[in-house]
Chain A
Amino acid sequence: MTTPPRRATPRTAAALAGTLLAASALSGCGVFGSPDLVVYNAQHEQLLDEIIPLFEEESGLDVELRNGKDLEMANQIVEEGEDSPADVFLTENSPAMSIVDNAGLFAELPESATATIPDEYVPAGRTWTGFLARSTVAMYNTDSMTEADMPASILDFADPEWAGRVAFSPTGADFQAIVSAVLELEGEEATAEWLEGLKANGVIVQNNLVVMQSVDSGEVDAGIAYHYYWYRDRQENGTDSDSSALHFFGDQDPGAFLSISGAGILASSEHQDAAEEFITWLTGTEAQQAMAESYALEYPLNPDASLSPEVKPFDELEPPAVDVAGLNGPQVTELMTAAGLL
Chain B
Amino acid sequence: MPLAYVASYVVVIGPVDLWQLLARPRIAELLRNTITLAVACMAATAALGVALAVAVERTDLPARRLWHGLLVAPLAVPAFVNGYAWVSLDRGIQGFGGAFAVVTLSYYPLVYLPVVAMLRRLDPALEETAFSLGHSRARTFRTVVLPQLRPALLGGALLVGLHLLAEFGALSLLRFPTFTTAIYDQYGSTFNGAAATAMAGVLVLLCLVLLLADLRLRGDRRYARVGRGAARTAVPLALGPWRLPVLATVGAVVVLALGVPAFSLLRWLVAGTSTEFPVAELTAALAATLVLALAGAVVTTLAAIPVVWLAVRHRGWASTVIERSTYVANALPGIVVGLALVVASLRLVPVVYQTAGLLVAAYAILFLPRAVVTVRAGLEQAPVVLDDVSHSLGLGTLATARRVTLPLIAPSLGAGAALVFLAISTELTATLMLSPIGTSTLATEFWSASSELRYGAAAPYALLLVLVSIPATVLLMRTDSPAARTETVPA
Bound pair (A, B)? yes
Task: Assess whether A1 is interfacial by the CB under 8 Å rule.
Answer: yes
In contact, A2 and B411 (Cβ under 8 angstroms): yes
Q: What's the Cα separation between A206 and B447 when bound, in Å? A: 13
In contact, B298 and A22 (Cβ under 8 angstroms): no
Task: Assess whether B380 is interfacial by the CB under 8 Å rule.
Answer: no
Chain A residues positioned under 8 Å from B193 (CB to CB):
75, 333
Task: Assess whether A236 is interfacial by the CB under 8 Å rule.
Answer: yes
Task: Assess whether A12 is interfacial by the CB under 8 Å rule.
Answer: yes
Given contacts A2-B411, A72-B189, A342-B185, contact A22 B195 (CB under 8 A): no
Chain B residues positioned under 8 Å from A5 (CB to CB):
406-407, 410
In contact, B438 and A76 (Cβ under 8 angstroms): no
Q: What's the Cα separation between A336 and B479 when bound, in Å? A: 50
Among the stretches B1-9, B23-31, B154-162, B213-221, the one at the interface with A is B23-31
Task: Assess whether B350 is interfacial by the CB under 8 Å rule.
Answer: yes
Q: How many A-B residue pairs have CB under 8 A?
A: 144
Query: Can you show 10 pairs from A to B with CB atoms below 8 A apart?
Result: A23-B356, A26-B436, A66-B438, A173-B189, A206-B175, A213-B453, A336-B189, A340-B29, A341-B26, A342-B185
Task: Assess whether A126 is interfacial by the CB under 8 Å rule.
Answer: no
In contact, A19 and B298 (Cβ under 8 angstroms): yes
Given contacts A28-B438, A80-B346, contact A333 B291 (CB under 8 A): no
Of the candidates A3, A19, A75, the one whose C-beta lies within 8 Å of that of B190 is A75
Q: What's the Cα separation between A3 and B412 when bound, in Å? A: 9
Task: Assess whether A85 is interfacial by the CB under 8 Å rule.
Answer: yes
Q: What's the Cα separation between A83 and B295 when bound, in Å? A: 27
In contact, A22 and B356 (Cβ under 8 angstroms): yes
Chain B, residue nearest A20 (CB): B295
> What 0/1 readout, one digit per residue, does chain B (22-54) give for beta carbons within 8 Å of chain A?
001110010000000000000000000000000
Chain A residues positioned under 8 Å from B453 (CB to CB):
207, 209-210, 213
> What 0/1 readout, one digit per residue, does chain B (314-357) give for beta carbons within 8 Å of chain A?
00000000000000000000000000001100100010011111
Minimum distance in angstroms from A177 CB to a CB of chain B: 12
Name B275-334 residues within 8 Å CB distance of A: 288, 291-292, 294-295, 297-299
In contact, A26 and B414 (Cβ under 8 angstroms): no
Chain B residues positioned under 8 Å from A67 (CB to CB):
448
Inter-chain pairs besides A8-B406, A336-B189, 15 sampled, C-beta below 8 Å: A1-B415, A1-B479, A22-B291, A26-B291, A27-B355, A38-B437, A64-B438, A75-B190, A80-B353, A171-B189, A205-B175, A213-B453, A237-B273, A333-B193, A342-B185
Of the candidates B294, B354, B479, the one whose C-beta lies within 8 Å of that of A19 is B294
Task: Assess whether B91 is interfacial by the CB under 8 Å rule.
Answer: yes
Q: What's the Cα separation between A21 and B356 when bound, in Å? A: 11
Chain B residues positioned under 8 Å from A338 (CB to CB):
24
In contact, A83 and B478 (Cβ under 8 angstroms): no
In contact, B273 and A26 (Cβ under 8 angstroms): no
Q: 4 tightest A-B contacts by CB?
A: A75-B191, A5-B407, A26-B356, A340-B26
Chain A residues within CB distance 8 Å of chain B: 1-3, 5, 8, 12, 15-16, 18-19, 21-23, 25-28, 35, 38, 45, 64-67, 69, 71-76, 78-80, 83, 85, 171-173, 176, 204-207, 209-210, 213, 217, 236-237, 330, 333, 336-338, 340-342
Q: What's the Cα separation between A6 and B479 when bound, in Å? A: 22
Chain B, residue nearest A7 (CB): B410
Q: What's the Cα separation between A342 and B188 when bound, in Å? A: 10
Of the candidates B298, B407, B418, B451, the one whose C-beta lies within 8 Å of that of A207 is B451
Q: What's the Cα separation between A69 and B346 when bound, in Å? A: 19
Of the candidates A2, A35, A72, the one whose C-beta lies within 8 Å of that of B188 is A72
Chain B, residue nearest A333 (CB): B189
Of the candidates A2, A76, A207, the one whose C-beta lies within 8 Å of that of B452 is A207
> What 0/1 readout, one digit per residue, does chain B (111-125) give for beta carbons within 8 Å of chain A?
000000000000000
In contact, B26 and A342 (Cβ under 8 angstroms): yes
Minimum distance in angstroms from B108 CB to a CB of chain A: 23
Task: Assess whether B172 is interfacial by the CB under 8 Å rule.
Answer: yes
Q: What's the Cα separation between A80 and B413 when bound, in Å? A: 38
Task: Assess whether B96 is interfacial by the CB under 8 Å rule.
Answer: no
Of the candidates A19, A65, A74, A340, the one whose C-beta lies within 8 Å of that of B24 is A340
Minimum distance in angstroms from B197 CB to a CB of chain A: 13
Q: What's the Cα separation between A204 and B95 when bound, in Å? A: 11
In contact, A3 and B451 (Cβ under 8 angstroms): no
Task: Assess whether B67 is interfacial by the CB under 8 Å rule.
Answer: no
Chain B residues positioned under 8 Å from A75 (CB to CB):
190-193
In contact, B188 and A171 (Cβ under 8 angstroms): yes
In contact, B299 and A79 (Cβ under 8 angstroms): no
Minimum distance in angstroms from B401 CB to a CB of chain A: 13
Given contacts A72-B191, A80-B346, A338-B24, contact A26 B355 (CB under 8 A): yes
Q: What's the Cα separation between A71 and B193 when bound, in Å? A: 11
Name B334-390 residues within 8 Å CB distance of A: 342-343, 346, 350, 353-357, 360
Chain A, residue nearest B417 (CB): A15
In contact, B438 and A65 (Cβ under 8 angstroms): yes
Chain B residues positioned under 8 Å from A336 (CB to CB):
189
Q: What's the Cα separation between A316 and B193 when bound, in Å? A: 39
Task: Assess whether B439 is interfacial by the CB under 8 Å rule.
Answer: yes
Of the candidates B190, B407, B414, the one whose C-beta lies within 8 Å of that of A1 is B414
Of the candidates A3, A23, A45, the one whose C-beta lies within 8 Å of that of B410 is A3
Minimum distance in angstroms from B469 CB to a CB of chain A: 16
Chain A, residue nearest B448 (CB): A45
In contact, B189 and A176 (Cβ under 8 angstroms): yes
In contact, A12 and B298 (Cβ under 8 angstroms): yes
> What 0/1 readout, one digit per residue, does chain B (259-283) give for beta carbons within 8 Å of chain A?
0000000000000010000000000
Q: What's the Cα separation between A206 and B173 when bound, in Å? A: 8
Chain B residues positioned under 8 Å from A76 (CB to CB):
191, 342
Q: What's the Cα separation between A5 and B378 when bound, in Å? A: 14
Chain A residues positioned under 8 Å from B186 (CB to CB):
337, 342
Chain A residues positioned under 8 Å from B478 (CB to CB):
1
Chain A, residue nearest B294 (CB): A18
Q: What's the Cα separation between A306 and B457 when bound, in Å? A: 29
Task: Assess whether B475 is interfacial by the CB under 8 Å rule.
Answer: yes
Chain A residues positioned under 8 Å from B298 (CB to CB):
12, 15-16, 18-19
Chain B residues positioned under 8 Å from A207 (CB to CB):
451-453
Minimum distance in angstroms from A219 CB to a CB of chain B: 8
Chain A residues positioned under 8 Å from B24 (CB to CB):
337-338, 340
Given contacts A15-B294, A83-B350, A83-B353, contact A217 B91 (CB under 8 A): yes
